[in-house]
Amino acid sequence: MLSASDFRNGATFEWDGDVYQVLDFQHVKPGKGAAFVRATIRSVLSGATKELTFNPTEKFNDAQLETKEMQYLYNDDALYYFMDNETYEQLPLNKDEVSEAIQFLRENDTAVIRFYKGKAFSVQAPNFVELEVTQTEPGVKGNTTTGATKPATVETGFTLNVPLFVNIGDRIKIDTRSGEYLSRV
């Protein structure tokens, strides 16, 4: 059991028929009246965010989430298939469940999949990936304005801004959390 006074960032709990993760919390002790906990929570199943207040003595059931590294195999337009590296079982996921991570994953790349009661609800790409640039405008000699960028598309279809010196065929390192260019590899 988890009480509202035990909230910490990242804590997960079951409440109101859903599973929530604490994003931010604050214990408030006003001069008059009873203390309370103000928290920002996100549903791990739907992604919806709420800001609520709780009585510090309210109790919640702990939610046990599982994470597993799985290999991305392929997609067939409707489903994306991942394989468990230990059991070799394949897990089909729909586009909604993989929408953010798939733009950084190539076939045979490894991703972290989160489960609640055996049902997958999110896919996370590695924090940093190295991908090849497949389309961008050529850099022109003399275009060296500090901080100037141009759009580039990588092999997975993701488009981001890169410095002017990056060309087609270059491998670049991308931070998947922000979708930003880090360096040329």
pLDDT in tens, 71-116: 999 998 889 999 999 999 999 998 877 878 899 999 999 999 988 8
What is each CA distance from 34 to 53, 58, 168, in whole angstroms?
A: 12, 13, 62
Which pair of structure tokens corresponds to residue 57?
């003595």
pTM: 0.73
pLDDT in tens, 151-179: 999 999 999 999 888 899 999 999 998 89
Compute the distance between CA of residue 140 and CA of residue 150 in angstroms, rounded to an integer. 11
Amino acid 140: pLDDT: 67
Task: Please report the DSSP string for 39-98 in residue order.
Answer: EEEEETTT--EEEEEE-TT-EEEE--EEEEEEEEEEE-SSEEEEEETTT--EEEEEHHHH
Identify residue 27 by its one-letter amino acid code.
Answer: H
